[in-house]
């Protein structure tokens, strides 16, 4: 085993500059969810250059590579996401985003580059392991309905069915060269909230003739914070955040008729998640009704709570200790 670890480390060191270059290329040319056409082409070109068999067009722009080892064994799936976010990059580096308003702010460029680097090593050492590796380059992680659900519907986890699937996520606060594991509940569910408050617009100097949705939205945002602080079990983290608000108004002295809010709700407990969805709807309707306005809340239910399989996590951690040291 020590000899094999030495070979893997040597290959990792040899390919290090290539993987950094791949990551920086992806960072320079980010693409939004369901629009990863050039990203997919680049990934496919890399795999073809190394002779790694793969198929394209999964869930739009997804790619699946299948590696066969030296004899029968389990199928293990490895997964990386590949889409970017609608964010304008302000970093001043030579590889900053060239696509205005789009940035790999969530690390998917690093995830994809890491998986490509791992596949290159696995392919080189394919006579040293048994079984099958299925590598999944997933599009549209950031946007509902989510590329994962579409990939699964298309059969990415069948024929052969993986015994385990492993993914990773970068953590900028952790020193480079270290990895972390957590058994069981690991990451929160993620739901998108879209809320429209409908009032009655008018002149800002005559607020008594209006039903001001701006003022109502301020009350609602403040009140909804108590949904978590006074209803959720404190030992189970939960977050409700509104990240976007805008109105139909066009001047400083005009009270608009509508205000729109967008946010996210995240939880680590599925029962509380369902209860919170009910409370969100009830509170929004009640507060707006009490202030003589109406509202429409759309909850787009996203990924469920991530639960890391305990035995798989323990095994992965033991391998990391063997490779990196404790």
Catalytic residues: 83, 141
Q: How far is CA 87 from the centre of its chain?
A: 14
Rounded distance between C-alpha atoms, residue 280 and residue 253, angstroms: 31
Rounded distance between C-alpha atoms, residue 28 and residue 99, angstroms: 7
Q: In whole angstroms, how far apart are CA 177 and each of 100, 251, 260, 290? A: 31, 52, 43, 55
Contact 111, 81 (CB under 8 A): yes
Per the structure block, which two tokens stand in for 248?
């139909």
Region of residue 157 (left: phi > 0; alpha: psi -120 to 50; beta: else): alpha
Contact 258, 198 (CB under 8 A): yes
| DSSP secondary structure of 155-195 | TTT-SSPPSEEEE----TTSPTT------EEEE---EEEEE
Query: Count of residues for the chain?
Result: 326
Rounded distance between C-alpha atoms, residue 274 and residue 217, angstroms: 23
Residues 276, 277, 278, 283, CA torsion sign:
positive
Burial class (CB in 10 A: 0-12, 13-18, 19+), 213: buried
| DSSP secondary structure of 40-74 | HHHHHHHHHHHT--EEEEETTTEEEEEEE-SS---
């Amino acid at each position: 085993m020590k000899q094999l670890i030495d070979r893997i480390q040597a290959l990792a060191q040899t390919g290090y500059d290539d993987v950094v270059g791949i990551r920086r290329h992806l960072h320079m040319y980010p693409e939004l969810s369901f629009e990863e056409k050039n990203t997919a082409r680049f990934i496919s070109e890399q795999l073809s250059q190394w002779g790694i068999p793969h198929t394209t067009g999964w869930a739009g722009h997804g790619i699946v590579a299948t590696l066969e080892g030296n004899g029968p064994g389990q199928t293990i799936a490895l997964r990386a996401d590949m889409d970017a976010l609608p964010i304008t990059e302000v970093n001043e580096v030579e590889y900053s985003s060239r696509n205005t308003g789009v940035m790999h702010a969530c690390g998917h460029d690093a995830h994809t580059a890491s998986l490509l680097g791992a596949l290159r090593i696995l392919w080189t050492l394919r006579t040293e392991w048994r079984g099958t590796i299925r590598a999944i380059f997933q599009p549209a992680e950031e946007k509902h309905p989510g590329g994962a659900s579409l990939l699964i519907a298309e059969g990415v986890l069948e024929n052969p069915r993986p015994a385990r699937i492993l993914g990773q996520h970068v953590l900028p606060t952790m020193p480079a060269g270290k990895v972390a594991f957590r058994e069981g509940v690991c990451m929160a569910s993620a739901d998108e909230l879209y809320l429209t408050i409908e009032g009655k617009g008018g002149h800002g100097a005559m607020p008594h003739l209006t039903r001001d949705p701006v003022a109502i939205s301020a009350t609602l945002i403040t009140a909804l914070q108590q949904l978590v602080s006074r209803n959720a079990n404190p030992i189970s983290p939960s977050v409700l955040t509104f990240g976007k608000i805008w109105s139909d108004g066009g001047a400083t002295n005009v009270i608009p008729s509508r205000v729109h809010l967008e946010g996210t709700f995240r939880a680590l407990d599925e029962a509380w998640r369902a209860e919170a969805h009910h409370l969100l709807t009830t509170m929004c309707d009640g507060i707006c009704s009490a202030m003589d306005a109406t509202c429409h809340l759309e909850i787009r239910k996203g990924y469920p709570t991530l639960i890391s399989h305990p035995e798989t996590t323990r095994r992965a951690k033991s391998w990391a200790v063997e490779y990196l040291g404790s």
